[in-house]
C-alpha cells in the first residue's frame, strides 16, 4: 500500500518548498518518498530545484492533475515501480481547485486498493491571505482570484499556513484562529517550510482525518475559469552569453525579476509567481522567485561562480494579458542584459491564457 499526499494552494504559497522539506523529513524516518510537480511546460523551474534535492521526481505537464488524471496515475505507478517508493507527494498547479472531486475521490474510488490518499492539503501564504482578506474587509466585491483562493481553503482537509517566519507571532495566531473558525472541517497548522519550524505538526496532520471527505463543495466553474484565465502563463527559455567575458548569473536573474516585479507594481498586476533558473554548466544553477508585485526577488539557490554562457528558464503567472507579459519579460531581460554585459537570445511571444478547466472525472461526495 502506498501513501499519496496531495498538495494544493495558490501560486507561490510554498508548495514545492513544503514538498521537498516534508519528503526529506519522511525519508529521515525511513520512508521512500517520491514527488510529482505539475505545470504546463516541461522541465519546470520547480522540477529542477526539486531534482537537486531528491532522487525520485516526476512531472505531470500540459495541464493540471484534474485534466491530466491518467498522466498523474501513470506517474505514480512509474515512481512506485522504478524507485521502490512507498510515499508520493504531489503538488497541483497553483490556480487549480475542486481537487476533492476531480483527483482525491477518483483516486480513492478507482485506486483505493493500491493507495491511501492522505488529507488534501492547501498550502497558504499568510501575506496572500491578508491581502485578499483586506479587500473583503473593505467591502469590495470578491474578485475571481479571491474566489479561487477561497475555494482552495474551503475544500482543504488540512490548511497548512506556511511562511510563519514572515508574520509576527500574534498576527500568525490571529490568522490560525480565524481559519479554524471559518473552516471547521479542516485541521489548521502553522509552520515554516524553509526554516522547518513546526513541520512535524504538518506530518502529523497527514495521518489525521479528511474532514471534507463527505462534504459536497459547490464550485462555480465559470468563476474558477475566469480566475485561471486572468493569470497569463509564461514558460520561456533563453540562451545567454557574455562574449568571452564572465558575468554573475545570479545577479542577472535577480535583475530580471526585480524589473518584472517593479513593472507589476507600476501596472497594478498581481504576480502569482515569477521564477527563474539560470544554468551555468554542469550541475550549477541559480534559482530565484518573486511572489508579489513590488517585492524583491528571493534567492532560493545561488550559482557558485561567474559564467561566460548560461541557459535561463522563466516560469511566470501574472494577472495581465499574455502579450503584456511577453513585453514585460522582454523589457526586463533587455535591462538585465545591459546592466550585466550579457546578450540573450531574443525572447519569443509564448505567453497564453489557460483554457476552461475540463476535469476527466468529477465525483460527488459519497452520501451527498
Ligand X SMILES: Nc1nc2c(ncn2[C@@H]2O[C@H](COP(=O)(O)OP(=O)(O)O)[C@@H](O)[C@H]2O)c(=O)[nH]1
List residues near ligand X by CB under 6 A.
Answer: 9, 11-17, 46, 91, 94, 123, 162-163, 165-166, 192-194, 273, 289, 291, 298, 300
For 329, the grid coordinates are 519579460
Q: Which is nearer to ligand X, 80 or 316 (CB)?
A: 316
- Our measurement of the distance from residue 187's CA atom to the centroid of its chain's CA atoms, rounded to an integer in Å, reads 21
Contacts of 149 (CB under 8 A, 6+ apart): 10, 128, 129, 132
Residue 276 corresponds to which cell in the numbers above?
Answer: 527563474
Instruction: Choose from ligand X, Mg ion, none: what does 12 bind? Cβ within 5-8 Å by kind.
Output: ligand X
Residue closer to ligand X (CB basis): 278 or 342: 278
* Phi then psi dihedrals of residue 311, to 5 deg: -125, 130
Q: Which grid cell is 338?
A: 545591459
Burial class (CB in 10 A: 0-12, 13-18, 19+), 207: exposed
**Interface residue list for Mg ion (CB under 5 A):** 15-16, 46
Shorter beta-carbon distance to Mg ion: residue 15 or 108: 15
Residue (52 or 330) nearer to Mg ion, CB: 52
Q: Quote the CA–CA distance of 141 and 139 in Å, as a whole number.
A: 6
Which residue lies nearer to ligand X by CB, 20 or 213? 20
Closest CA to 221 of 108, 323, 358, 16: 358
From CA 35, how far away is CA 90, in angstroms rounded? 6
The SS3 assignment for 158 reads strand
Residue 235 binds what, of ligand X, Mg ion, none (CB under 5 to 8 Å, by partner type)? none
Question: At closest approach, how far in Å is the CB of 1 from ligand X?
Answer: 27
Is 159 or 242 the residue whose CB approaches ligand X more closely?
159
Q: Which does 300 bind (CB under 5 to 8 A by kind): ligand X, Mg ion, none?
A: ligand X
Give the separation between CA 126 and CA 166, rounded to whole angstroms. Answer: 8
Smallest separation (angstroms) from Mg ion to the CB of 1:
27
Q: How far is the CB of 53 from ligand X (least distance, A)?
A: 12
CB of 18 to ligand X, least distance (A): 7
Render 102-148 in DSSP notation, one character per residue. IIIHHHHHHHTTTEEEPPPEEEE-HHHHHHHHHHHHTTPPPPHHHHH
Provide the minimum distance between the beta carbon of 134 and ligand X in the complex, in angstroms, as a whole number: 20
In the numeric block, which cell numbers belong to residue 217? 463543495
Closest to ligand X by CB, 41 vs 94, is 94
User: To the nearest whole angstrom, how small is the minimum distance from the Cβ of residue 153 to ligand X?
Assistant: 15
CB of 172 to Mg ion, least distance (A): 22
Amino acid at each position: 500500500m502506498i501513501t499519496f499526499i496531495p498538495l494544493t494552494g495558490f501560486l507561490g504559497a510554498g508548495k514545492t518548498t513544503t514538498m521537498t522539506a516534508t519528503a526529506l523529513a519522511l525519508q529521515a524516518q525511513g520512508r521512500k518518498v517520491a514527488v510529482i510537480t505539475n505545470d504546463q511546460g516541461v522541465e519546470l523551474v520547480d522540477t529542477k530545484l526539486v531534482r537537486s534535492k531528491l532522487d525520485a521526481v516526476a512531472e505531470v505537464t500540459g495541464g493540471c492533475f484534474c485534466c491530466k488524471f491518467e498522466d498523474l496515475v501513470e506517474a505514480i505507478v512509474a515512481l512506485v515501480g522504478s524507485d521502490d517508493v512507498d510515499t508520493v507527494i504531489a503538488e497541483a498547479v497553483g490556480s487549480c481547485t475542486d481537487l476533492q472531486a476531480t483527483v482525491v475521490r477518483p483516486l480513492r474510488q478507482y485506486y483505493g486498493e493500491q493507495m491511501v490518499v492522505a488529507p488534501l492539503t492547501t498550502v497558504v501564504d499568510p501575506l496572500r491571505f491578508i491581502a485578499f482578506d483586506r479587500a473583503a474587509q473593505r467591502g469590495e466585491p470578491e474578485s475571481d482570484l479571491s474566489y479561487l483562493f477561497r475555494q482552495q481553503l474551503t475544500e482543504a482537509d488540512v490548511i497548512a499556513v506556511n511562511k510563519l517566519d514572515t508574520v509576527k507571532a500574534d498576527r500568525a495566531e490571529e490568522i490560525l484562529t480565524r481559519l479554524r473558525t471559518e473552516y471547521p472541517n479542516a485541521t489548521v497548522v502553522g509552520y515554516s517550510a524553509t526554516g522547518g519550524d513546526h513541520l512535524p505538526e504538518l506530518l502529523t496532520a497527514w495521518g489525521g482525518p479528511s474532514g471534507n471527505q463527505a462534504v459536497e463543495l459547490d464550485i462555480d466553474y465559470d468563476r474558477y475559469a475566469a480566475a485561471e484565465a486572468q493569470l497569463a502563463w509564461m514558460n520561456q527559455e533563453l540562451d545567454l552569453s557574455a562574449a568571452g567575458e564572465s558575468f554573475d548569473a545570479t545577479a542577472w536573474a535577480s535583475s530580471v525579476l526585480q524589473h518584472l516585479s517593479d513593472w507589476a507594481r507600476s501596472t497594478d498586476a498581481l504576480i502569482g509567481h515569477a521564477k527563474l533558473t539560470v544554468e551555468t554548466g554542469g550541475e550549477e544553477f541559480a534559482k530565484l522567485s518573486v511572489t508579489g508585485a513590488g517585492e524583491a526577488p528571493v534567492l532560493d539557490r545561488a550559482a557558485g561562480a561567474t559564467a561566460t554562457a548560461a541557459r535561463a528558464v522563466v516560469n511566470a503567472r501574472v494577472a495581465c494579458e499574455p502579450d503584456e507579459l511577453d513585453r514585460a519579460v522582454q523589457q526586463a531581460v533587455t535591462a538585465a542584459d545591459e546592466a550585466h554585459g550579457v546578450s540573450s537570445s531574443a525572447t519569443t511571444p509564448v505567453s497564453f491564457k489557460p483554457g476552461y478547466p475540463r476535469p476527466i472525472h468529477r465525483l460527488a461526495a459519497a452520501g451527498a
